Structure 1
């Protein structure tokens, strides 16, 4: 389970564009806490702190205790809106959760033991199809990451969800197929070298044909004289 992170916030008295703009001018990002059949709470969090959390990874699979005055709300991030020009966050949504709340979250994949993977040590390439896996679980069982062991895998092997041991009570949201997470692809260097060799051979053949044409042309001109 991921650690719960404390996040201080100020309560906003009113919703609307005016208060939201005022919060942004003050270096804050407006947001809302909703869910659990309770009234929503309008909040504002520090822009710098939110940006740091967004860039640290795993933001949407992390539980937060948002401190609003003397109260604390256990929440899970659901959405962040960004300015299309500056790419800065302009609004954030949090969902109230409890230990029993069922959620769907995308959790990052972490690959282990690359040095013990013959396919990689012999020059193969790890081709990642899914950097994150969407999981269904209770809020108190969200894994911090999904570890995948590469030990013993050869070139051409694929890693499917059926090969991954998930924690108890955690399941993939895709259940109708054994989807691929990554493959060990053939060495790209060999492919590039083969392509270069083919290109050089084609160029050499072209030069040979050109020389033959020049020789034939010279012979024709000598015959004419």
Structure 2
């Protein structure tokens, strides 16, 4: 499960495009905390630290304890926007979370065991159909990733979502029969098979 991270923020007295631009000029990223039955709260984050958190991975599945002028709130990022040219964060949305609450998140899939797959050893290729799975889960139980092993798989074999070990009480947004990964024949052989009839036709 992902660890809760700490982040410092300051309250923003003004909102709107002009106020947001002023915040960015000061080396900060405008953000908002919403949900939990409370009014939305405009805040500002250190821009460099926010960028590192986003590009460090798992940002949208990580819980944060945000300290705003001495008051700490537990939140999870729900969205962020990047500058289309410079790729630095220009806004972040955080959702307040409470015990017993559930959230819907995308959890990445990590495929392992390729070296122990007979299909791969014989030239087959690992084809990842789903790079992540959407689940509904309690925030404290969000996994960093789902690990799926293709060890033992032959060419033509596939793994479905039913092999995923979900956290307690979590639910998949897709059916348990959804294909996650499969071992496909080598592309070179497929190309050769396609060219063979054409070559025979020319000889005829």
Q: Aligned runs of 1:37-52 on 2, under 5 Å?
A: 37-52=37-52
Shift of 1:184: 0.9
Q: What are the superposed Cα offsets for residues 153-201 of structure 1, whole Å, 9 maximum, x if unpaired? A: 11111111112222221220224x62111111111232244456667x3
Structure with the higher fraction of residues in strand conformation? 2
Structure 2 partner of 1:188: 187
Judge which range, 188-197 or 136-145, deviates more: 188-197
Does the CA contact (< 8 Å) of 2:103 and 2:137 recur in 1?
Answer: yes
Does the CA contact (< 8 Å) of 1:100 and 1:140 recur in 2?
Answer: no
Q: Are positions 1:117 and 2:133 aligned together? A: no
Q: CA RMSD in A?
A: 2.1
Partners of 2:112 and 2:183 in 1: how far apart? Answer: 14
Structure 1 partner of 2:149: 149
Shift of 1:18: 2.1
Q: Are positions 1:82 and 2:119 aligned together? A: no
Q: Are positions 1:25 and 2:25 aligned together? A: yes
Q: Aligned runs of 1:139-178 on 2, under 5 Å?
A: 139-175=139-175, 178=177
Structure with the higher fraction of residues in helix conformation? 1
Partners of 1:113 and 1:69 in 2: how far apart? Answer: 48
Partners of 1:153 and 1:56 in 2: how far apart? Answer: 32
Partners of 1:55 and 1:192 in 2: how far apart? Answer: 38
**Structure 2 stretches lacking a partner, 5+ long:** none
Does the CA contact (< 8 Å) of 1:136 and 1:171 recur in 2?
Answer: yes
Q: Which has the larger radius of gyration?
A: 1
Does the CA contact (< 8 Å) of 1:112 and 1:149 recur in 2?
Answer: yes
Q: What are the superposed Cα offsets for residues 99-119 of structure 1, whole Å, 9 maximum, x if unpaired? A: 311110100111122211111
Q: Aligned runs of 1:205-224 on 2, under 5 Å?
A: 205=202
Partners of 1:195 and 1:149 in 2: how far apart? Answer: 31
How many residue pairs align between the two structures?
Answer: 204
